[in-house]
């Protein structure tokens, strides 16, 4: 997997990151849908920054132990969004990953300004240092950004790709959409046990590049 080493300091850091990153990610979906006139998120209590409305037990647990996971998807009405703009559904989907990119960039500022160092992030005891929390904050937000951009349902990347892909590619997405969750489960849970860390192969290079770009 992309992230490991679940020591107490890392566990505490990831709990903090989980609450912030997942909440803002899902709120970004909800507020963007609301902007386009879809009241579905608000009616379902998702137009809020209350973490309890957004966290998914299994996805949260996976984030803690593996470094990536998911929150409860924000329900939207694609027909309402389509009437407002052909790009509305894509923009609602894109809002979540963009929020993770923004959070990662903000979390990297103290590293860039020299207020904390990467050395401090790895030199910690039972409780995490500020540098350790910021390190996990930047890294996990980048992982969530890249993971959600994978063009497989139910991830955000599938709807984003559906908007930009030519019609022939879009038909391929339509064909595999019902099997998206099964494919993801196979990639995430089964692949590593047979020596196929597909997630690592896909996300590793851009993750390292983005982290180096942001943190330096």
Question: Which residues have a catalytic role annotated?
Answer: 26
Measured CA to CA, the distance from residue 102 to residue 180 in angstroms comes to: 27
> What is the spatial distance between Cα 80 and Cα 94, in angstroms, rounded to a whole number?
17
Q: Which two tokens stand for residue 42?
A: 């608000």
Torsion angle, alpha carbons of 202, 195, 121, 115, to 10? -10
Give the whole-angstrom CA distance, residue 95 versus residue 129: 30
| Helices 8-35 and 130-148, packing angle to 10 deg | 50
């Amino acid at each position: 997997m992309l992230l490991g080493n679940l020591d107490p300091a890392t566990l505490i850091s990831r709990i903090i990151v989980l609450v912030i990153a997942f909440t803002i990610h899902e709120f970004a979906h909800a507020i963007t849908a609301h902007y386009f006139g879809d009241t579905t998120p608000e009616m379902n209590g998702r137009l809020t920054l209350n973490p309890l409305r957004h966290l998914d037990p299994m996805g949260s647990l996976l984030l803690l132990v593996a470094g990536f996971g998911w929150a409860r998807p924000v329900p939207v009405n694609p027909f309402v969004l389509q009437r407002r703009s052909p790009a509305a559904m894509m923009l609602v989907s894109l809002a979540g990953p963009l929020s993770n990119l923004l959070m990662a960039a903000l979390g990297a500022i103290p590293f860039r300004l020299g207020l904390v160092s990467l050395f401090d992030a790895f030199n910690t005891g039972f409780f995490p240092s500020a540098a350790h929390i910021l390190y996990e904050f930047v890294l996990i937000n980048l992982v969530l950004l890249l993971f959600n951009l994978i063009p497989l349902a139910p991830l955000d990347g599938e709807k984003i790709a559906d908007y930009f892909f030519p019609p022939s590619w879009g038909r391929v997405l339509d064909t595999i959409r019902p099997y998206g969750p099964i494919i993801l489960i196979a990639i995430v849970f089964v692949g590593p046990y047979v020596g196929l860390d597909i997630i690592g192969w896909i996300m590793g290079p851009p993750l390292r590049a983005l982290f180096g770009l942001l943190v330096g």
